[in-house]
């Protein structure tokens, strides 16, 4: 098995005897080395030139860029605001109106935009710089803090659209020239098979054996959320935000329903209603009894209390010895369980359960010594070879799943039993095209049956 090695980027450093920053690049074909002066060492402007230069270097296949790139990077002063100010205005006035997932995508796009072009006046930001920014998205930077993995082709195209929309918003606020936004909109998206960007992995179903094994290891609130997703085709974000006050009995159908105010298409005026059948209502009942309607139904604090109770039941030390329950708890803990799950904490709870349900092979686990002590995590990772690290990664990929896959499981089941239109309606899609292309897996047994008959 071959693995892709990550090259360490050429270092940003100070030229000896000068207060100037410099980077040395090596031509991948000729082996020729060339120094590039970047500006005053430690200044934001020199950092921006450095990142743009590396993006150009990678875009050229690690061939040496022309030195005029560095000269052009120093913008002439203008009366326009710079990219940093535009990004700050957009973040404060627009970005936070989006749901958390989209908000996070905007935040990462703005971070990279400011890193490469923060001091650039907005009227001097054009298609060439946007393409360099795109190359940085494709290449990634595992040495950054935090590390940034290379983005897939579809993700890169989406992030570029975010950047363009920021400049369009600037036009409406009369702080960006119209010509700038129009020029940026002309940058063509990356096309499949014609770019270095990798294709994103398609989200698939959770295998049944993995689902059952993981459910047995999940805390009660998380297991309930998983089962509700399978029965309602809800998105993870819709389930974690569910509150008792959202639920009411529909007089026409007699079903328990939740009219969601926050959902994926709320900003487009769409409606999203979750329907809960008898089985789903049975799952919800323990979480609705005696709970404040304004509080989330599923709480990490309750899951933590359940974990502690389970640990106490397994305690072997008599109560009169050692720590008594509650005596070693902090009144002000650094990290306390929250009142409600987020999509991220929901996903992590599933990952932890997967680790318990599917531990790696014996030679890939921490050692347990004769005195009963367990090898520390730091010592365990220090002794692993590169081959063993790859084995662990492959094992995790084959034995882990995330909550977004559950929607695909539910959609496929409903499509198989009731047809494509029923799956579209339950998923809340305005068009069956999305349901057919993305969510509902095709029934391959029907294909096999047809081939047996005609072939």
Q: What is the CATH number of the domain that holds 154?
A: 1.10.150
Last residue of a domain, one of 361, 381, 398: 398
Last residue of a domain, one of 185, 219, 253: 185
Pick the closest to residue 340 from 413, 240, 433, 215 (CA basis). 240
- The pLDDT tens digits along the chain (455 residues) read 444 445 678 888 898 888 888 889 998 888 889 888 888 888 888 888 888 888 888 878 888 887 655 544 444 555 678 999 999 989 988 877 777 778 889 999 999 999 889 888 999 999 999 999 999 999 888 777 778 889 999 999 999 999 999 999 999 999 999 999 999 999 999 999 888 888 988 888 899 999 999 999 999 999 999 999 999 888 898 899 899 888 888 888 888 888 887 766 666 666 778 889 889 999 999 998 888 888 889 999 888 888 888 888 888 888 777 777 777 777 777 777 888 899 999 999 999 999 999 999 988 888 888 887 888 988 988 899 999 999 999 999 899 999 999 988 888 888 777 776 666 666 666 555 455 555 555 555 555 565 456 65
State how far the Cα of 205 lies from the Cα of 416, in Å rounded to an integer: 14
Whether pTM exceeds 0.85: no
Residue 283 and residue 306 in one domain: yes
> 368 lies in a domain?
yes
What is the C-alpha end-to-end distance of the chain, expressed in Å?
37
Residue 302 and residue 391 in one domain: yes
> 329 lies in a domain?
no
CATH, residue 300? 1.10.443
Helix, strand, coil fractions of the chain, as percent rounded to 5: 50, 10, 40
State how far the Cα of 6 lies from the Cα of 106, in Å rounded to an integer: 26
Q: Which long-range contacts (CB under 8 A, 24 or more apart) does 95-104 make?
A: 97/267, 98/267, 99/237, 99/262, 99/263, 99/264, 99/266, 100/237, 100/342, 100/343, 101/237, 101/343
Residue 383 and residue 244 in one domain: yes
> 194 lies in a domain?
no
Residue 136 and residue 236 in one domain: no
> 78 lies in a domain?
no
H or E element, residue 284? helix 278-288
H or E element, residue 215? helix 208-215
Residue 423 and residue 448 in one domain: yes
> 275 lies in a domain?
yes
State how far the Cα of 352 lies from the Cα of 400, in Å rounded to an integer: 9
> 323 lies in a domain?
no
The total domain count for the chain is: 4
> 158 lies in a domain?
yes
Residues 6 or more apart in contact with residue 86 via CB below 8 angstroms: 122, 166, 167, 170, 175, 176
> 324 lies in a domain?
no
Last residue of a domain, one of 375, 398, 421: 398
Residue 263 and residue 381 in one domain: yes
Check residue 3 and give its pLDDT.
Answer: 45
Residue 91 and residue 30 in one domain: no
Residue 98 and residue 119 in one domain: yes
The boundaries of the domain holding residue 19 are: 13-73
Side by side, the strands of the sheet bearing 33-40 are 13-14, 20-26, 33-40
Residue 245 phi/psi, 5-degree rounding, is: -70, -15
Residue 367 and residue 413 in one domain: no
State how far the Cα of 401 lies from the Cα of 449, in Å rounded to an integer: 30
Residue 48 and residue 88 in one domain: no
Residue 294 and residue 375 in one domain: yes
Residue 248 phi/psi, 5-degree rounding, is: -150, 160
């Amino acid at each position: 098995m071959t693995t892709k090695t990550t090259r360490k980027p050429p270092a940003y450093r100070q030229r000896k005897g000068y207060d100037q920053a410099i980077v040395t690049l090596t031509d991948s074909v000729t082996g020729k080395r060339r120094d590039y002066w970047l500006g005053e060492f430690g200044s934001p402007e020199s950092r921006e030139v450095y990142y743009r230069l590396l993006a150009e270097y990678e875009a050229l296949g690690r061939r040496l860029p022309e030195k005029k790139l560095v000269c052009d990077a120093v913008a002439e002063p203008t009366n326009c605001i710079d990219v940093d100010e535009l990004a700050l205005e957009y973040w404060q006035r627009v970005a936070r109106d989006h749901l958390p997932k989209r908000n996070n995508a905007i935040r990462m796009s703005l971070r990279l935009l400011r890193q490469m072009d923060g001091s650039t006046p907005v009227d001097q930001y054009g298609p060439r710089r946007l393409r360099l920014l795109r190359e940085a998205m494709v290449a990634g930077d595992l040495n950054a803090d935090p590390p940034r993995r290379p983005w897939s082709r579809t993700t890169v195209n989406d992030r570029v659209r975010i950047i363009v929309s920021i400049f369009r918003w600037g036009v409406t606020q009369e702080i960006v020239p119209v010509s700038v936004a129009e020029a940026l909109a002309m940058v063509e998206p990356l096309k499949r098979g014609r770019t270095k960007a990798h294709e994103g992995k398609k989200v698939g179903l959770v295998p049944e054996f993995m689902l059952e094994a993981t459910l047995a290891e999940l805390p009660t609130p998380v297991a309930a959320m998983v089962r509700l997703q399978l029965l309602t085709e809800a998105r993870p974000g819709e389930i974690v935000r569910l509150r008792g006050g959202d639920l009411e009995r529909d007089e026409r159908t007699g079903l328990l329903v939740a009219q969601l105010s926050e959902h994926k298409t709320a900003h487009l005026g769409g409606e999203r209603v979750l329907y809960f059948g008898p089985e789903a209502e049975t799952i919800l009942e323990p979480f609705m009894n005696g709970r404040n309607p304004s509080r989330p139904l599923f709480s990490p604090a309750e899951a933590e209390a359940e974990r502690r109770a389970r640990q106490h039941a397994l305690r072997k030390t008599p109560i009169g010895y050692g720590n008594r329950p509650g005596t070693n708890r902090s009144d002000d803990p650094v990290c306390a369980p929250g009142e409600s799950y987020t999509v991220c904490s929901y996903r992590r709870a599933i990952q932890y359960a997967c680790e318990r349900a599917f531990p790696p092979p014996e030679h890939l686990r921490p050692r347990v010594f004769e005195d009963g002590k367990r090898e520390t995590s730091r010592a365990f990772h220090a002794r692993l070879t590169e081959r063993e690290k790859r084995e662990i990664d492959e094992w995790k990929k084959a034995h882990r799943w995330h909550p977004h896959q559950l929607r695909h499981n539910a959609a496929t089941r409903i499509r198989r039993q009731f047809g494509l239109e029923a799956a579209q309606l339950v998923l809340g899609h305005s068009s069956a095209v999305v349901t057919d292309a993305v969510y509902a897996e095709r029934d391959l047994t029907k294909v096999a049956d047809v081939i047996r008959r005609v072939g």
